[in-house]
Amino acid sequence: MSFFANHFFQQNLTSKRLRARRNDEGVNDQIFRHFSIFNHPGRGQGQEKHSWLSGDEVHVAQTYILRNCEEAQPILQMFLTHLQQYDDGLIDLMVDKHFAEWFPGFVHNPANHVNDPLLKSLAWGPAKQVTTWSACFINGYNFHTLQHGAGKATMNSGVCVRSSSGDFYGVLDEIIQLEYGSEARNFIVLFKCTWIDPDKGMKVHGKYGLVDINRKRMYRKNDPFILAQQAIQVYYADYPSLKRDKVDLRAVFHMKARSTIEARWQEKDVLAYQMDEVEAVPTLELEPINQF
């Protein structure tokens, strides 16, 4: 009956089925996205604050955004054509150092016929004054900054991001909203994170795919930002071993987003399986952690 009612009545009427998920309530999913990079649904939580980014932080953030903006990729490819004589490592370094500075000159040059106003807005770069929060609801996850979660029984600051070169694991330090142009709705939310070195600080077990990280092996490159919509929430648990060489290890557990449904129930008779006896096994209690 409930299922029928939800489909019979108008969609703007609230029902239990149509109600927003717990970690998405208040998120405006109807935001008109002119641009792939702008205005992704999400909601800052906690006291809203304002701060200023340094020139270097703006440059690093803008470079990451341009690298991950679908509409900017043709221009990035043009930039890369001038670097074909260099090796990959040097090309990556030159993109980090020069692309964000070269991009606005190309976009605003009338000879290049770039007419998209939002691409031009992106080229001007973000305002240095930014909005920050201590928590954020996005992707079905409830993220907290490391400082906000300190001392709490739960950990909501663990972050994973997938890339073409592999997964990165870290903790969330800041939630930052950048604004572009004169339209207040053109914004991008970034997570500023501290990352574990993916080469020296991470181990993936071949058979089961379990991931361990070493909290002392930090990623040294100045590349702390990701788009908030790229973030996957993880939990870091103390490693269940008393050996000295494992004291800095943390076991990684991927959290399930509240929008995730693993499988549909199959409508068929299934016999319940029950063991006659259950062997008692010792339990190991782990202290909750709030940092690496």
Q: What's residue 129's pLDDT? A: 95
0.85 surpassed by pTM: no
Q: What's residue 275's pLDDT? A: 44
Q: What's residue 23's pLDDT? A: 55
d(CA 176, CA 225): 10
Q: What's residue 13's pLDDT? A: 42
Q: What's residue 7's pLDDT? A: 38
Q: What's residue 77's pLDDT? A: 96
141-144 vs 43-45, strand pairing mode = unpaired
Residues 60-106 have pLDDT tens digits of 999 999 999 999 999 999 999 999 889 988 999 999 999 999 999 99
Region of poorest pLDDT, from 41-55, 155-169, 278-292: 278-292
Q: What's residue 28's pLDDT? A: 46
d(CA 75, CA 228): 24
Average pLDDT over residues 237-256: 86
CA of 71: how far to CAs of 117, 129, 259, 274, in Å?
Answer: 12, 25, 28, 56
Average pLDDT over residues 131-156: 92
Average pLDDT over residues 236-242: 83
Given a cut of 80, whether residue 9 has pLDDT beyond it is: no
Higher pLDDT, 234 or 27: 234
